[in-house]
Amino acid sequence: MDLSYLLLLQRFREATGGVLDQFFLQLSDLSYGIFIWLLACVLFWAVDKKSGAFLFLNLAVSRFVMQFLKLTFCVYRPWIRAPEIVPVETASGYSFPSGHSVTAAANYGTVLTRYGKGHKPLAALMAALLVLTMFSRNYIGVHTPQDVVVGAALGLSVVLLGARAWAWVEEKPGRDWIIPCAGAVLTALFLLYISLKSYPLDYAGDGALLVDPAKMVKDGYKDAGRFLGVTLGWFLERRFVRFSLDVPALTKVTRCGVGVLLLVLYEMVVTPAVTGAVSLSWIGFVLTFVELLLLTTLYPLCFSRLERRAQAA
């Protein structure tokens, strides 16, 4: 049934000459790579600090659980299961659950829960973006309906459960130390699990691996680094940095402009340069850990100190 649905969408693409292909590719890309962190950065640095921190945590936790599921079930992509499926563009790794659907649900679901009440147009837009993102992964041919539904359910569940956990921490501020401690323990257990478990080794007709488990484990290391970086960074900022949003609008714009530039340089220059020079499997973990610590703690520490000095002068 799931593969028949993808074939139906494929026939539609062929009949329409792929007129919608680029639209759904671009929409899908909004929930991938650098784009998933931009909203969290802007909220955190300049608009709504609590909502930004909440979004950072939701994204990191949902991607962490997603990698656990991907590396546990090791479900192959649709075109591997049914060669007649020809995707608009290929995707690497395991199929279940859909990572784009997970991050879309975490992003749009967080905005919906924090700002949707009393703002029906915004709520409708967030819901529409989530549904369209899910559909785009089916339309492109890289995920089954099960992949996207479970992915979205995972992201939304993290948002809802995270809201309850957030409220519990806020009741007694001293509880916040539990978050980085739990992050460290879960990260260690996760890395141990994905490093020691066995993975399927199936080969194509040309002798190449259908999916290289070593590459997938490296992806797991990256999201583990993000998870640890966010949980620790959130705690350090909350306890020691404590930057304020009570600053002029121009200062907020400057924060975002410089911060986004740093994020782009890190993603586009630093990460490729380091991974190209160092082939160690854990380097991805270190890079993503530093990146999220930079976004949540180190960069706020820098701009808050510079702003205080400028104000004092």
The string of DSSP codes covering 138-198 is: HHHTSS-HHHHHHHHHHHHHHHHHHHHHHHHHHHSGGGGGHHHHHHHHHHHHHHHHHHHS-
pLDDT per position as a tens digit, 281-300: 789 999 999 999 999 999 99
Quote the CA–CA distance of 245 and 252 in Å, as a whole number: 8
- The answer to whether residues 101 and 83 touch, using CB atoms and an 8 Å cutoff, is no
Give the integer Cα–Cα distance in Å for 188 and 177. Answer: 17
Mean pLDDT in residue range 138-153: 96
Would you give the distance in Å from CA 95 to the centre of its chain? 16
Q: Summarize pLDDT for 221-279 with one digit per residue, the tens.
A: 999 999 999 999 999 999 999 999 999 999 999 999 999 999 999 999 999 999 887 77
Q: How many CA atoms lie within 13 A of 282 on its CB side?
A: 6
Here the contacts of 203-211 (C-beta below 8 Å, separation 24 or greater) are: 210/76, 210/80, 211/74, 211/76, 211/77, 211/80, 211/92, 211/93, 211/94
- Note the pLDDT of residue 181: 96
148 close to 98: Cβ distance less than 8 angstroms: yes
**Measured between alpha carbons, how far is 40 from 170 in angstroms, rounded to an integer?**
20
Cα–Cα separations (whole angstroms), residue 6 to 67, 86, 94: 24, 9, 17
| Confidence at residue 312, expressed as pLDDT on a 0 to 100 scale | 77
Tens of pLDDT, residue by residue over 159-186, are 999 999 999 998 987 899 999 999 999 9
pLDDT tens profile 176-213:
999 999 999 999 999 999 999 999 998 888 888 899 99
User: Counting Cβ atoms within 10 Å, is residue 127 exposed (0-12), middle (13-18) or buried (19+)?
Assistant: middle
Whether residue 1 has pLDDT greater than 80: no
Percent of the chain with pLDDT over 90: 80
Instruction: Give me the pLDDT at residue 190, please.
Output: 98
pLDDT at 2: 80
Residue 233 vs residue 119, higher pLDDT: 233
The domain limits of the chain are: 2-305
Q: Which residue has 């809802």 as its token pair?
A: 160
What percentage of the chain reaches a pLDDT higher than 70? 99
pTM greater than 0.85 (yes/no): yes
Contact 70, 96 (CB under 8 A): yes
Least confident of 2-6, 41-45, 56-60, 238-242: 2-6
Predicted local distance difference test score (pLDDT) of residue 297: 97
What pLDDT sits at residue 101?
97
Name the percent of the chain in helix, strand, coil, to the closest 5.
75, 0, 20
Query: Length of the chain, please?
Result: 313
41: confidence class by pLDDT, cuts 50, 70, 90: very high
Tokens for 279, please give them: 């082939």
Pairwise CA distance, residues 30 & 144, whole Å:
19
Whether 157 has a pLDDT exceeding 90, the answer reads yes
